Amino acid sequence: MRIDAEHLTSTLSRMVGIDSVNPFFRDGAGDERAIAGFVAETLSGLGLRVQTFEPQPGRISVVGTLPGRGGGRSLMLYGHMDTVGPGDMAEPFAAEVRDGRMYGRGTYDMKGGLAACISAAKVLAESGTRLAGDVMVCGVADEEVASLGMLDVLAHVKPDAAVVTEATELDVCLAHKGFCWIEVETIGRAAHGSRFDEGIDANLMMGRFLAELDCLEKDLRRRPAHPLIGPPSLHAGVLRGGTAPSIYAALCHLEVERRTLPGETEAGVVAELQAIADRLAAADPSFQARLRPLLTRDAFEVAEDAPVVQAVAEAATTVRGRRPAFLGHSFWMDAAIIANAGVETVVIGPAGAGAHADVEWVDLESVRQLAEILARTAVRVCG
Ligand SMILES: [Zn+2]
């Protein structure tokens, strides 16, 4: 299982050199086409059968398959190809290497992981031994915003197991939180600022709701915490109300983000907020609020004894000479979408720092080790 480190570094460097900022972050100027083309070409050059999926113009995802001889489990090695915007990063696309680190936007989140997936496929393709199950390398669009890419890939491709290579410092991630965005609007009545007898102040109504929301947030902290990812939480991310000091605010708009644990549902989260609105309306008939869920992504969890988890943990132990830790992450990943499709899923990725920050880097030796872990995992899973 000798990883071609030179090929790995040059593949990563070329991917970092391709600007693949999610179009959401730059008013449509970002483009995932070029990186999808590069990944497709690289995988087909290694002898993989390549499919591309384009649910919306330019939003391309790539799946390369190394076909098995039949009768084994299939494994998908996953990475997303889009990144967040460069922010104030000095050289976002230069892929500069210093002291064993590669710097640039997407090195850590997560072109390093994707490069390791490609390198694992390369060593398997060149080994000459054909596994029983298919090994797939999947590079998807739009993870950083709405997961268009992975949702579409799963409509066409359904592996038995998947390894998501988001960064974990080579430990094994078994859970991450989900989230639910909920819009809350309090409804007042506009009136001249002097006419207290006519106006209903939507902003003050929202104040009552926010005070109750604050109590709910403290209550969440007292609920039983998940052993790997802790307690659920919420915050009032967006708040907008009123038009001028001299006018009673007719409407106040709030967007709440609730971070969820495995097992929590959108319906349950909305019901907690609705109960607050109902209580306030019962106490004062002039209180009016409407609630609407905007976007929900589930939490993710996999059992420690799941075969793909055991395969990754054994491979990591072999490569690193010590047993990896099992951990959870607070932030959301496509892992939940893949697991929800019935695919046994685990997360392991390289070491580094600076996801979404102005200085981002990945440790190149950890990327090489990850590639070897992935190749060994494929042998165990696909037989
Ligand atoms: Zn990521």
Helix-then-strand count for the chain, H and E: 9, 17
| CB atoms closer than 10 angstroms to residue 104 | 28
- Which two three-digit tokens encode residue 167? 């960064």
Beta bridge partners of 139: 62, 79
Q: Examine the pLDDT at 27 and tell me if it is beyond 90.
A: no
* CA Rg value for the chain: 24
Backbone angles phi, psi at 230, to 5 degrees: 80, -160
| Res 79: pLDDT | 98
The structure tokens listed for 294 are 């905007």
In the reported structure, the alpha carbon of residue 280 is separated from the centroid of ligand 1 by a whole-number distance in angstroms of 40
Tell me, in angstroms, the distance from the centre of ligand 1 to residue 101's CA.
18
Give the chain's largest Cα–Cα span: 84
CA 19 to chain centre: 19
**Distance in Å, CA 353 to ligand 1 centroid:** 12
Residue keyed to tokens 């999926």:
53
318-347 per-position pLDDT tens digit: 999 999 999 999 999 999 999 999 999 999
In the predicted model, what is the mean pLDDT of the chain?
A: 96
With a CB cutoff of 8 Å and minimum separation 6, the contacts of 262 are: 175, 178, 226, 298, 299, 300, 301
Query: Is this model's pTM higher than 0.85 or not?
Result: yes
CB 105 within 8 A of CB 84: yes
Give kind and range of the element (H or E) at residue 279. Answer: helix 266-283
Element containing residue 184 per DSSP (H, E): strand 178-187
Reduce the secondary structure of 331-349 to three states and give it as a string: CCCCHHHHHHCCCEEEECC
User: Residue 236: beta bridge partners?
Assistant: 256
- How far apart are the CA of 185 and the centre of ligand 1, in A? 32
**What integer pLDDT is reported at residue 175 of this predicted model?**
98
DSSP symbol at 131:
P
What is the whole-number distance in angstroms between the Cα of residue 227 and the centre of ligand 1? 23
Q: From CA 178, how far away is CA 36, in angstroms rounded?
A: 27
Q: How far is the CA of 203 from the centre of ligand 1 (A)?
A: 37
pLDDT at 93: 94
Count CA atoms within 13 Å of residue 105 on its CB side. 21
The string of pLDDT tens digits covering residues 165-197 is 999 999 999 999 999 999 999 999 999 999 999
Express each pLDDT in 273-318 by its tens digit: 999 999 999 999 999 999 999 999 999 999 999 999 999 999 999 9
* Residue 29's pLDDT band (cuts 50, 70, 90): low
Task: Report the Cα 233 to chain-centroid distance in Å.
Answer: 18
Contact yes or no for 32/58 (Cβ under 8 A)? yes
| Cα–ligand 1 centroid distance for 333 (angstroms) | 7
Phi-psi region of 131 (alpha: psi -120 to 50; beta: other; left: phi over 0): beta
> 121, 66 in Cβ contact below 8 A?
yes
CA of 164 to the centre of ligand 1 (A): 10
Q: Which residues surround ligand 1, an ion (CB under 5 A)?
A: 109-110, 166
Give burial (CB, 10 Å; 0-12/13-18/19+) of 2.
exposed
β-pair partners for 300: 176
Over residues 10-25, the pLDDT tens digits come to 999 999 999 999 998 8
Q: How far is the CA of 91 from the centre of ligand 1 (A)?
A: 20
**Per-residue pLDDT at 122:** 98
Give the percent of the chain with pLDDT over 90. Answer: 95
Q: What are 136-155's pLDDT values in tens digits?
A: 999 999 999 989 999 999 99
